[in-house]
Amino acid sequence: MNFRLEFIPKGFETKLKHSDRLFLAGSCFTEQIGSKLAAHKFRLIDNPNGILFNPVSIASSIINYIENKQYRKADLFYHNELWGSWEHHTKFSALTAEDALQKINESQTTANLFLKSADWLMLTLGSAFVYEREGRKVVANCHKVPTDKFNKRLLSSEEVISTLDNLIHRLKKFNPKLKIIFTISPVRHLRDGFVENNRSKATLIQSVHHLVDKFEGLQYFPAYELIIDDLRDYRFFAEDMVHPNYAATNYVWEKFVQACIDESSQQLMKEINIINAAMHHKPFNPQSEAHKNFLKVNLQKLEYLATQYDYIDFSKERNFFES
């Protein structure tokens, strides 16, 4: 007897290859998937502005990468003894404007160069609510400034579609080979309210599917549906009851691999997993001949992979096994 309905996402027509370059931007769920891709030695860049939630801020940040915008002191603000940017996460804030600008502009340059040569762009939208300051300027992060200093509102589907439509046109001109994956974050923004969160997610889902149907080269991966409609249980959420927990994230990751990554790359990922497991192995006696042989065997496996896949940087793993 079945107690749940399993959802098997439809496989992409064109799948990711391990040699592809991936650019990820959006909510915290983006970083969870990005960390798993990085652990399997995919070449990627993840959230150069830090975590972003709303489509206006995500689109604005990517257009700034395209233009390689370099920030100036006038673009920053000073609050709680820190210099920060309304377009960046608090991890870019600093005690001096010079330090903040150095971190921001280095990230901008890196993002511009990577995006130009990227094969895939994965955008994870978290919320259709935006916070605006004077002149209806949307902020990407409120930096713990009291919310009464902002105007909060829900974007319409038309606004989201227009914003992302313009972004897609800019991207196609900047990097014609770029393929785009949209996902909706399964993290529930219940501070907005239960009804409001569902309105927000519905706006994002409707807008994204409108664009996927309109443009070639756009894909949708149903991370939101896998958590909300497949798992459907609070045991798959963290203690805050809004963020998917480790088991849920792994479940979505497994579905992502099956639907989005080609078979030869999946096989390579299994071999990399063996290397990763060996690195986390805790020997009973590090000085024993058995452990030295263990290191030698895994170093040989590593050297074979490095020869076969010369685009992968195994320097950290090589140092570990040689030590």
How much is the pLDDT for 282?
85
What residue ranges define each of the domains in the chain, with the CATH number in brackets? 21-261 (3.40.50.1110), 263-323 (no CATH)
AA letter at 48: P
User: What DSSP element (H or E) covers 23?
Assistant: strand 21-26
Residues of the chain above pLDDT 90, percent: 86
How much is the pLDDT for 285?
84
Give the C-alpha separation, 28 to 16, whole Å: 21
What residues contact residue 314 under an 8 Å CB cut-off, 6+ apart?
41, 302, 305, 306
| Closest among 116, 114, 115, 90 to 103, alpha carbons compared | 90
The per-residue pLDDT of the chain, averaged, comes to: 94
198-212 tens-digit pLDDT: 999 999 999 999 999
Lowest-confidence region among 3-7, 25-29, 102-106: 3-7
* HSE-CB for 25 with a 13 A CA cutoff: 25
Lowest-confidence region among 27-41, 122-136, 212-226, 279-293: 279-293
222-246 tens-digit pLDDT: 999 999 999 999 999 999 999 999 9
AA letter at 138: V
Question: How much is the average pLDDT of 106-130?
Answer: 97
How much is the pLDDT for 169?
96
Q: pTM of the entire structure? A: 0.94
pLDDT at 1 over 80: no
244-288 tens-digit pLDDT: 999 999 999 999 999 999 999 999 999 999 999 999 888 888 888
Residues of the chain above pLDDT 70, percent: 100
The CA-based angle 203-258-185, given to 5 degrees, is 25
Confidence of residue 54 (pLDDT cuts 50, 70, 90): very high
